[in-house]
Amino acid sequence: MSIFDNLKNNFTSPAPASQPSGGSYTFTFNALPESLAEMQALPEASLDTPYKTAALTVCALCAYAAAPEIGKEMLNFLKGPAPLSGYEISFLNDRFRDGKHVPFSYFAGAKPENNYTPSTPFKVTIFSNPYSFPQSDRATLHLNSGGADSPRQIKLRLKPSEGKWYLEEQMIMVGIRTPKAADPWA
């Protein structure tokens, strides 16, 4: 039984979202990881670029929506030497109270009209802008949600002794348009 069974809608295959211009990387996942071990088995788990860490952050937040303890393990892996604080856990629990669909909105094809049901395989595009790398060990990357008009950010930090980029802060678990199924005006 999948940890995502109680979140699944009937996945459809709408046209993929257009990619933003500029430096961007699209990551494709045939299935979302359902455990820390599955995440660590993915090639992106090398965390050798901030883009890989950002893409896995979306996957970890999807897991958190389905099984908070598993999602927490994944996020702690991505945060490296600075695990989730009590404040961050409280913030996520608050955001997931009504917004289990939010992390799925960052995958191609997910939009309010289809209740944020992403296309499969799951594709997420992470992009940078001229201000994304203010220091050699810091990055602020961007991604688009099918339910928001402006890009959202993920901040990452390089641990030079390991050559790995770790999640420092995510700003993607914020409000998006209401899914059609929950919109009384739809």
Whether 148 is in a domain gets the answer yes
pLDDT of residue 16: 31
pLDDT of residue 186: 75
Average pLDDT, the chain: 89
The structure tokens listed for 171 are 């700003």
* Calpha distance 116→107 (Å, rounded): 9
pLDDT digits (tens, 9 = 90+) for 161-175: 999 999 999 999 998
Q: What average pLDDT does the segment 146-155 reach?
A: 96
Whether 107 is in a domain gets the answer yes
Domain that holds residue 127: 24-174
pTM (two decimals): 0.87
In degrees and rounded to multiples of 5, residue 55 shows phi and psi of -65, -40
Whether 144 is in a domain gets the answer yes
Q: What average pLDDT does the segment 33-49 reach?
A: 98
CA 177, 120, 15, 132 torsion-angle sign: positive
The lowest-confidence range among 4-18, 112-126, 161-175 is 4-18
Whether 185 is in a domain gets the answer no
Q: Which 3 state secondary structure label does DSSP give 141?
A: strand
Q: What are the C-alpha distances in Å from 57 to residues 12, 39, 113? A: 23, 10, 25
Whether 186 is in a domain gets the answer no
Whether 180 is in a domain gets the answer no
Whether 98 is in a domain gets the answer yes
pLDDT digits (tens, 9 = 90+) for 76-101: 999 999 999 999 999 999 999 877 89
pLDDT of 7 over the 70 cut: no
Whether 2 is in a domain gets the answer no
* Number of domains observed in the structure of the chain: 1
pLDDT of residue 13: 33
pLDDT of residue 65: 94
